Amino acid sequence: MSKPAILLVPGAWHTPSSFSPLTNYLIQHGYTVEGISLASVGLFPPQPNFDADVQVIASTISKHADQGSDVVILFHSYGSIPGTSACKGFLKSDREAAGKKGGVVHLIFCCAFAVDEGVSLMDGLGGQPLPWFDIASDEKTLTPKTPVETFYNDIDDKKILDELVGSLKPQSYGAFWSKSTYAAWLDVESTYIVCGVDEALPVQVQQGMVTNVRKLIEEKGGKGNMQEVTMKASHSPFVSQPVELGRIVREVVGERV
């Protein structure tokens, strides 16, 4: 089978290095993989919104699509909000209509925010910061108070935990208030990976988003369809269970595993 390019969009605080175990697994199985560094993670001055994140994701999609590649995007957590917004005009169906090859053929939401157009991450949280948000006094950045318990609760290796926590960067808070500009799951196939022991995004919230997406696709006559897969994993299966997550990705793109 012809293999698509796989783009990995991190969540808040994380860099592409956090995907290394999953990246290595997919490369070993013949995939072109690129992790995307978000402007809202670690850059100063802090970003006032998610616009720069959208731009860098769109640019990366464009690069691979212009090479004629089908593109599959895996979003983690916050990354899906700028990520789906960046897909506007880059779906394979969009590009085919313009006489171009390549484009986005599937979206994978890994314990990520699958929200409608006009909804922000903070809207999804009811407009209230979570108890583990450590917001700076100027309210421009935030960090997690309990990263191990919140993100990596199924990892026991202290060395790995120290590396993960040490790689986290301050997150621009303004990006959390930016509202999605495109619900790409309406127009393309998608898969939601529910992480069953996630302490950052409770399983009930994840499942509720899947239900809502399916409802909206039906109500709006969307061309997309969201399937659901469950892992017994924390908020970070790309580190704690990279082989299982990698197998799911391979199956999603049509490979027999």
**What pLDDT digit, counting tens, does each position of 207-235 carry?**
999 999 999 999 999 999 999 999 999 99
Mean of pLDDT values over 52-76: 98
Residue 79 has pLDDT above 90, yes or no: yes
Domain harbouring 94, CATH code: 3.40.50.1820
Tally of structural domains, the chain:
1
Q: Which residues pair with 244 in a beta bridge?
A: none
Cα–Cα distances (Å) from 109 to 112, 115, 229, in that order, read: 5, 11, 10
Residue 257 located in a structural domain: no
For residue range 136-149, list pLDDT tens digits in order: 999 999 999 999 99
E strands, the chain, are 5-9, 33-35, 70-76, 103-110, 133-135, 141-144, 171-172, 190-195, 226-231
Residue 242 located in a structural domain: yes
Helices (H) and strands (E) in the chain, counts: 10, 9
> In this predicted structure, what is the pLDDT of residue 1?
65
For residue range 233-243, list pLDDT tens digits in order: 999 999 999 99
Range of the domain at 213: 5-252
Fill in the amino acid letter for 159: K
| Cβ-contact 223, 188 below 8 angstroms | yes
Residue 126 has pLDDT above 80, yes or no: yes
Residue 26 phi/psi, 5-degree rounding, is -70, -40
Residue 192 located in a structural domain: yes
Residue 159 located in a structural domain: yes
Cα–Cα distances (Å) from 215 to 115, 117, 207, 226, in that order, read: 12, 14, 12, 10
Residue 118 phi/psi, 5-degree rounding, is 85, 10
> In this predicted structure, what is the pLDDT of residue 2?
86
Mean of pLDDT values over 35-52: 97
Residue 120 located in a structural domain: yes
Q: What's the Rg (C-alpha) of the chain? A: 17
